[in-house]
Structure 1
Amino acid sequence: MIIRTQVSFSVTGTHFTPSKVPAPFSDSHDPGVIGTVGRFRGAPVPYGSAGFEAPEKEMAKIAWIYERVSPYKSAMRDAGAEHCTLSVTYTYDSQCALSFSQEELKMIVDLDCYFHVDCQTAT
């Protein structure tokens, strides 16, 4: 049984400048910001990045992401976005059987991005 669902959307690009997009991103940075973690820690990050993270208590997480991303798709491309990904992670305790409604599938296709699904066991 699935006990937790996490849904996020990320967008990146070498010249992507999310500060030019009036979207309510959960997190973002423009190219050249000094990295604080990972391989660019203490060095300029060579790409821009932004994302949305659906709230834990939101039941319709894909729709929540879609409603926030779709009005800004053109603006993100105009600001240099090159790659986008919708990620869904399911945490389960006994079985990871999943399905998507027709409406969710339409939203996923309309986002026009990579779609990643991950299943992990509860620890």
Structure 2
Amino acid sequence: MADQTARQRARRTALDAQARMRARRVDQERRRDALGVMVISALAERDAVVSVCEARAGAALVKMTEQERLSLAEAVEWCGGAELLTVREAARLRQAAQSEGVAGPVCGARTTARTRRPRVPATL
């Protein structure tokens, strides 16, 4: 009988220890889940900010090359040179801006939808 009571006590002790370990693991997984969500959220925010900034840079490069008639290499030089911006990176930014239509219409460029101004009679 004493043997059986000792086994039951030992089993209860082991089960209690296992329950505490499971509870610690659950808490640990919750913390890790929350931290993982924080990391991904921060990276998504960063990517959104980078996209906006790259769109602005690309739009400016489009204007430099199309309106100001600079070559891409000249535009890069005006931006501080290859130490700050490579021609390859400038080409990528400009291409992205052109494909997204970020730069808007170029001054003097023809569009398919032309609007007519009403004629104003000369009064002099």
- Shorter-chain TM-score bucket reads under 0.3
Q: TM-score, normalised by structure 1?
A: 0.23
Q: TM-score, normalised by structure 2?
A: 0.23
Larger relative helix fraction: 2
